[in-house]
Amino acid sequence: MGTAVRHPLSPRLDHCPEGLPREAYFDSAWYDREMRTIFANQWVLVGRAADYEAGKMRRATVGAAQVIVVRDSAGALAAWHNSCPHRGSELCLKDEEEVGKLIRCPYHAFAFAASDGRLVSTAHAVPTDDFDASAHGLKPVATKVWNGFLYLNLSADPGPLWADVPLDALNNWPMDSLVTAHRWESEIDCNWKAFWENYSECLHCPGIHPELCDLVPVYKRGIMGQSEALDWTPSDATGPNLRVGAQSWTMDGTPCGPIFAGLSEAEHRMGGNFVTLWPSAYVVAHVDYVRAVRIVPIGPEKTKLIAEWYFTPQTLAQPGFDPADVAAFAKIVMTQDGAASEMNHRGMRSPSFTAARLMPEEYEIYRFHQWVTAQMEIIV
Amino acid sequence: MGTAVRHPLSPRLDHCPEGLPREAYFDSAWYDREMRTIFANQWVLVGRAADYEAGKMRRATVGAAQVIVVRDSAGALAAWHNSCPHRGSELCLKDEEEVGKLIRCPYHAFAFAASDGRLVSTAHAVPTDDFDASAHGLKPVATKVWNGFLYLNLSADPGPLWADVPLDALNNWPMDSLVTAHRWESEIDCNWKAFWENYSECLHCPGIHPELCDLVPVYKRGIMGQSEALDWTPSDATGPNLRVGAQSWTMDGTPCGPIFAGLSEAEHRMGGNFVTLWPSAYVVAHVDYVRAVRIVPIGPEKTKLIAEWYFTPQTLAQPGFDPADVAAFAKIVMTQDGAASEMNHRGMRSPSFTAARLMPEEYEIYRFHQWVTAQMEIIV
Amino acid sequence: MGTAVRHPLSPRLDHCPEGLPREAYFDSAWYDREMRTIFANQWVLVGRAADYEAGKMRRATVGAAQVIVVRDSAGALAAWHNSCPHRGSELCLKDEEEVGKLIRCPYHAFAFAASDGRLVSTAHAVPTDDFDASAHGLKPVATKVWNGFLYLNLSADPGPLWADVPLDALNNWPMDSLVTAHRWESEIDCNWKAFWENYSECLHCPGIHPELCDLVPVYKRGIMGQSEALDWTPSDATGPNLRVGAQSWTMDGTPCGPIFAGLSEAEHRMGGNFVTLWPSAYVVAHVDYVRAVRIVPIGPEKTKLIAEWYFTPQTLAQPGFDPADVAAFAKIVMTQDGAASEMNHRGMRSPSFTAARLMPEEYEIYRFHQWVTAQMEIIV
């Protein structure tokens, strides 16, 4: 606990600020406000666009909303709130259903164009003249595809993907050719922000993640990269280098297939790249495969994690290849992170807890808290 | 979606109004207010009076209240709140218990006259002079019997049965001779009003009720009777006529026993009569048997349905007669209605849903909404 | 229900007051206030000090707080909130864990001195100068031992054990030599005050506790002692005398081991002593063994009971002795009390219930209600 000496370019904080107040993790009014602001204004990752098949409608969760994503036979994507403008019924009753040119409400058979949501038929009902059909189409949800990922946005006036994420981060990865080959879900008993906070620092790595620290030696020091070290200067090599001999996040560090051809020297040295997409997901791009993890709030004290693993067809075609073998390593780490987030959440219930006191190494948590606070002011 | 042309005497609405706001279906403050107003002021059907046996006390739910109904050996009915005026304990611990001239609290043995609720004994307690025993009798609940059905009313100053229900609706049915022979309960995950709304229109019939539409052809057109048809004039015959050859709501349309002798020509033509008793029940009187369905709110998002089937002794005495065979048809329909109400309720959770936009055919929903809104102003 | 004639020295009330309002038993805001006042200011019994072993930390519940009690190898006791001052994580994850000189947070390995809670290490984190380590130690909980029982107090400025309990009540019992030999837990569906109210009067005894009334004849009359009888004068012998031939609360009234040597004549005549320690526990000291019952609120409508039985080593050493045989009697009584409290609680849900009307014999409930009301004003 001596005095911290940090280089001016270090990401470390120059003071130890307070975290969010206790109610941010438990209060249902706070949570509802997050849904009405953050999750109603931001682009939310809902999986790979390619996994939304033509001729199908599929449900996705965006904050407090159930959304249906439809891909028509021509390949165009559209998304709508899963609620009929007539009496509010669910339109899509299962996780996935067949759909043609029309989305027909199962309750009163009102029909809407799958492509543009306009009301096409009120079935047996004959509205009076005051009824303006053009004002009663499906309620739209904005869509965007980036690197093969589908994003939805509930806002009527959505902004650009992210102001603060380098959109070229995955440019050297063959994202469009990757295939979803494994999926893992877990429900954890904590606020969604507790999981993000855990993701945002590595002080917990030495105690919580022995296998990961063995693979990424710098994590043993409780930091996420060389630039956090107190003795760091910009002339140092940086990045979470893997242990000697290891090239990827697999059980033994061996790549699970051919190395991606287009990566830069720096990307090789870093062992890949991390892309953080608040509030809904992060993407970890290794030199041989890519993984995305979605953080889906269920309630103030419940969160769902959805992880997917993506590979090239060549990798998948290798004799005896099993994506579950690759996924096993990150599942160990995510299970540890889930348990840590739950234990953090339980402890924050204490009446003695008023707010965290952040360490300089928790600069990403600090940035996240400032982002959350600012976003909660934006009600549309 | 052309312009609706309706006869001035048609029940169809002349415009497409908005429904109740979203919170009416989810907000617990709204629900509590409904319990303190609608369900505290209205007569609530709690089954057949004859099913409340002499020498028994039986529990019934009236809005937020647990009530005990007592029939003494002389046959008189009385109803009381199931809470002791001393410390509040439950008086009747099971659905039904034996009872004599006294209701004795199982906690401290305070005794009350079953007939008039007056405090008869404080058992081992010896009150001081300031204790006015006459002010500490059981809290009464008003009772009324109509066509053999028992109604309870929590109000200290209950009004007449219903201002807006034709009380002679069942006059031609032998209601007093009917016997309860079958009972079915179902708990559904929706607000009680969602079930009533579903009951109040037939636009959903073609999509939801194939068996029912087969029995009642007019339902296939999404209307409840001929008078709703756009080409209807008052000179037309009206009513939900059964298909040719069918006479009752049974699996094959065949009556389950002798036809009731006293029905009018119009009642025969209509195939029976429906009586709607907001907020608690509806009665469907066929030409050969009668069914009642109770709608019991459990919470903002949970509702219990209790259906009973009533027959004459002659019908029941037929060799091989099984009331479950008769009930099977309506159970199919009610199960479909329950699922439809749940899917409607789930969809209304969407943040995109603010209120229904009602169709002209949904005139009964509109009337129901206006009734609900007006009743919620009446706090006693 | 004649006029009560009471001696001026009788504990009976001279009027029949109202109890607490209905919301006191159901409202979560009321409950939260109780946690922030009563349970945050009072000494709460958490078991026998001797059962907190050296080298272990053990969790205990004090109102809304999870607390860890630590006994170091030198035998000193200390208690801390189970929440790390860094990010709030739980410190002790199980009911009991090994501990040395340091309590180390399982999340980020911050270490605190088990004896005085001071922050000893921030592990991999290097705080900046603004971080005052001395302000970030474990949050302390006050401890006190009385007659071998451990009490905790969340207040920063705790008062004396109890202003209104005779602290010499157990002086004649060999409390320090007693050993915990049996434990029983039960979760009941009622407010914690409903259980205390039930404990505070014997009007329910004749109806609820046949076995107990057989052992303690005065209870058959609905009173807790002779001084409550209307014909009582101070010259009478007082106390809940056991039936002739019985000496203790066992199935047959026979003592389960040697009689304690130091008891007074009055204590022998009373058959022991009761000590009421609002809000958390009561102790029943018999002539041969001692029992303590803890009342732990879980929520407005859920309460946990934890009962323990304590014996001398000599009693335990008797051939064939089984403490469960002794405990069987009180378990019958507590199970009856739990069921009675639940039935009372359920009945208080009735909208017809506004408040109890207390009987003169319920003077202890009246005193309890006044205490609760007064304590709820004290926010620290």
The CA distance from B183 to B323, in Å, is 10
The CA distance from A242 to A248, in Å, is 8
Contacts of B66 in chain C (CB under 8 A): 349-350
pLDDT (0 to 100) of residue C239: 60
pLDDT (0 to 100) of residue C19: 98
**Three-state SS string across C31-43, please?**
HHHHHHCHHHHCC
Q: pLDDT tens for residues B35-90? A: 999 999 999 999 999 999 999 999 999 999 999 999 988 889 999 999 999 999 99
Reported as a pLDDT band with limits 50, 70 and 90, residue C163 is low
CB within 8 Å: C93 and A343? yes
| pLDDT value at B162 more than 80 | no
Q: pLDDT tens for residues C188-213? A: 999 999 999 999 999 999 999 999 99
- What the block records as the tokens of A125 is 């009902």
Candidates B3, B23, B196, B350, partner chain A, best to mutate (most A CBs within 10 A): B350
pLDDT (0 to 100) of residue B239: 61
pLDDT (0 to 100) of residue A236: 67
Residue B304's Cβ-count burial label (10 Å; 0-12, 13-18, 19+) is: middle
pLDDT (0 to 100) of residue C78: 97
Q: Could you tell me what percent of chain A has a pLDDT over 90?
A: 87
Q: What are phi and psi of A132, to 5 degrees?
A: -95, 100
pLDDT (0 to 100) of residue A241: 81
pLDDT (0 to 100) of residue B314: 98
CB within 8 Å: A90 and B359? no
The chain B residues in contact with chain C (CB within 8 A) are 35-36, 40, 63-66, 81-91, 93, 106-109, 119, 121-131, 133, 136, 139, 154
Which residue bears the tokens 């107003």? B37
The CA distance from C105 to C111, in Å, is 6
pLDDT (0 to 100) of residue C276: 94
Q: pLDDT tens for residues A58-80? A: 999 999 999 999 998 888 999 99
**pLDDT beneath 70, residues of chain A:** 1-4, 163, 236-240, 379-380
| pLDDT value at B1 more than 90 | no
Q: pLDDT tens for residues B296-333? A: 999 999 999 999 999 999 999 999 999 999 999 999 99
B:C CB pairs within 8 Å:
112
Closest residue of chain B to C201, computed from CA coordinates: B108
Reported as a pLDDT band with limits 50, 70 and 90, residue B220 is very high
Q: Which chains touch B (3 or more CB pairs under 8 A)?
A: A, C
Quote the DSSP letter at residue B52. S
- What the block records as the tokens of A116 is 């543009």
Contacts of B360 in chain A (CB under 8 A): 125-128
pLDDT (0 to 100) of residue B241: 81
Q: b or e along C47-63 (b: 16 or more beta carbons within 10 Å of the residue's beta carbon)? A: bbbbbbeeebbbbbbbb
| pLDDT value at C88 more than 60 | yes
Name all domains of chain B by residue range, CATH numbers in brackets. 18-40+162-375 (3.90.380.10), 43-153 (2.102.10.10)
pLDDT (0 to 100) of residue A258: 97
Q: pLDDT tens for residues B175-192? A: 999 999 999 999 999 999
Helix, coil or strand: residue B311: strand
Q: Which chains touch C (3 or more CB pairs under 8 A)?
A: A, B
Q: What is the mean pLDDT of residues C361-368?
A: 98
pLDDT (0 to 100) of residue A154: 98
CA distances from B371 to B97, B302, B348 (A): 37, 21, 21
Q: pLDDT tens for residues A203-237? A: 999 999 999 999 999 999 999 988 888 888 887 66
Mean pLDDT (chain B) is: 94
| pLDDT value at C2 more than 80 | no
Q: Please tell me whether the overall predicted TM-score, pTM, comes out greater than 0.90 for this model.
A: yes
Q: What is the mean pLDDT of residues B274-279?
A: 94
Mean pLDDT (chain C) is: 94
Pick from B4, B15, B346: CB nearest A90: B346
Closest residue of chain C to A341, computed from CA coordinates: C89
The CA distance from A308 to C370, in Å, is 60
The chain C residues in contact with chain B (CB within 8 A) are 1-4, 13-16, 19, 197, 203-204, 206-208, 221-223, 230, 340, 343-344, 346-353, 356-361
B363-375 vs B192-199: helix crossing angle, rounded to 10: 150
Q: For residue A124, which of A140, A114, A110, A138 has the smallest C-alpha distance?
A: A110
Nearby residues of C113 by Cβ (< 8 Å), 6 or more positions away: C101, C102, C103, C120, C137
Closest residue of chain B to A87, computed from CA coordinates: B356
pLDDT (0 to 100) of residue A286: 97
Residue B202's Cβ-count burial label (10 Å; 0-12, 13-18, 19+) is: buried
Instruction: Provide the CA B266 distance to its chain's centre, in angstroms.
Output: 25
A:B CB pairs within 8 Å:
113
What stretches of chain C adopt beta strand conformation (E)?
A: 18-21, 44-48, 56-62, 65-71, 77-81, 96-98, 102-104, 111-113, 119-121, 140-146, 149-153, 179-188, 273-277, 281-285, 290-299, 302-311, 355-357
pLDDT (0 to 100) of residue A232: 86
Q: Could you tell me what percent of chain C has a pLDDT over 70?
A: 97
CB within 8 Å: C350 and B130? no
First-to-last alpha carbon distance for chain C, in angstroms, is: 45
